[in-house]
Amino acid sequence: MQLLGPRPRRLHTPLVEAGNWQARGVTPSGTELSRSYFEHVVRPIVEAAWPRMPYAAARLGSGSEVLGLDDARSRDHDWGLRLELLVPAERVDAVDTHLAAHLPETFAGHPVRFPTTWDPVVRHRVQTSTARDLAVSRLGADATRDLGTDEWLSLTGQAVLEVTAGPVFVDGSGELDGIRRRLEWYPDDVWRHVVATDWARVAQELPFVGRAGERGDDLGSRVMAARLATIAMHLGHLLERRWPPYAKWLGTSFAALPRAGSAAAPLGSALEAGDWHSREAGLVAALRQLSRLQGEVGLPALDDPVEPFWDRPFQGVRAAAVTLVADSARDPAVRALPRGVGSAEQWSDNVDVLVRPALRRPPRESNAG
């Protein structure tokens, strides 16, 4: 089953009546709980007060349940009666205040008001805002309009998934659907640029897996192999046109990819290998599989992206593996971008940078003189 993807999706799980969960010994998923909470509690309260107000309700934002990956372990914090309610700007404060006054104390055995790791105050967790503000808070960009190249490159896959991966329960105005459609995938030339960047990143360190191992630095060789495996998994998501989640779920998501996921086996072999020769061989096998997939999805690709590194007994990435796909971009603004840098999640692995939009490249201002 494909768990994650770029296309906005809606879950069609039949509604489980809240009163039957405990009696039947059923533990709902986070999205099932949120859906039932909306239908049985939040929707009646909102529509009784504002019967003609267009609004959207969804389970978006943070949380493993947004990706469809929550389990019993997920329920020890920040899991519960959470949803996003998107209303017109002039109604945000009034709706939030009205909910605070009219929501019950519990629903389906869960507290309605509870603290979270980012907000220790005990309050209800119906996050009321506008569709635009939701997008900006998660992406750092206004996705109610078309994004510029700098804005696309400032996004992380996790940030986009927090807007596009969760279920939408109702969307009266269609604004949320428009945002999610706009975020389905990179513009074609930006896609080519970030694919080329992953090949450039692999080229920078692939030969050193063997070089470090040859000198007896097995730990260094293993560290580089792990980093290269991470890049290969990111590349696999790009080739499948799937937004990659953050590190906790990257392997789960990669293994579920319909075609790129087959490279999980050689990557696993590389990380399990006890010698650098086997480690390098696993990485090379995975890269060759991904290069074949690259050709299958319509991007320029070499018959073999790997070649000997000078006259040394190590493998490297052919320069053309980078230039062939990078040069296929036609947009002058994309072609002018520095090669090998790419998107925010390609130029930094700092968690604070990746999860906090304010710390990433400022939209449309990065080229300001």
**Could you say which DSSP state residue 207 is in?**
H
Helices 188-214 and 218-239 cross at an angle (nearest 10°) of: 160
Q: What is the mean pLDDT of residues 259-277?
A: 97
CA dihedral 319, 325, 330, 333 (to 10 degrees): -70
pLDDT tens for each residue of 68-122 = 888 888 877 877 899 999 999 999 999 999 999 999 999 998 999 999 888 899 9
CA dist., res. 190 & res. 113, Å (int): 43
User: What is the reported pLDDT for 6?
Assistant: 38
Q: How many CA atoms within 13 Å lie on the side-chain side of 268? A: 9
User: What is the reported pLDDT for 2?
Assistant: 40
User: What is the reported pLDDT for 22?
Assistant: 56
More confident residue, 25 or 343: 343
User: What is the reported pLDDT for 278?
Assistant: 97
User: What is the reported pLDDT for 275?
Assistant: 96
Three-state secondary structure string covering 137-177: HHHCCCCCCCCCHHHHHHCCHHHHHHHHCCCEEEECCCHHH
pLDDT band (50, 70, 90) for residue 146: very high
User: What is the reported pLDDT for 368?
Assistant: 38
pLDDT > 60? residue 196 = yes
Q: Give residue 342's Cα distance to chain centre.
A: 16
Average pLDDT, the chain: 90
286, amino acid identity? A
Q: Which of the residue ranges 8-22, 32-46, 189-203, 322-336 would you say has the lowest mean pLDDT?
A: 8-22
More confident residue, 355 or 25: 355
CA dist., res. 25 & res. 51, Å (int): 36
User: What is the reported pLDDT for 25?
Assistant: 63
Backbone torsions φ then ψ of 266, nearest 5 degrees? -65, -30
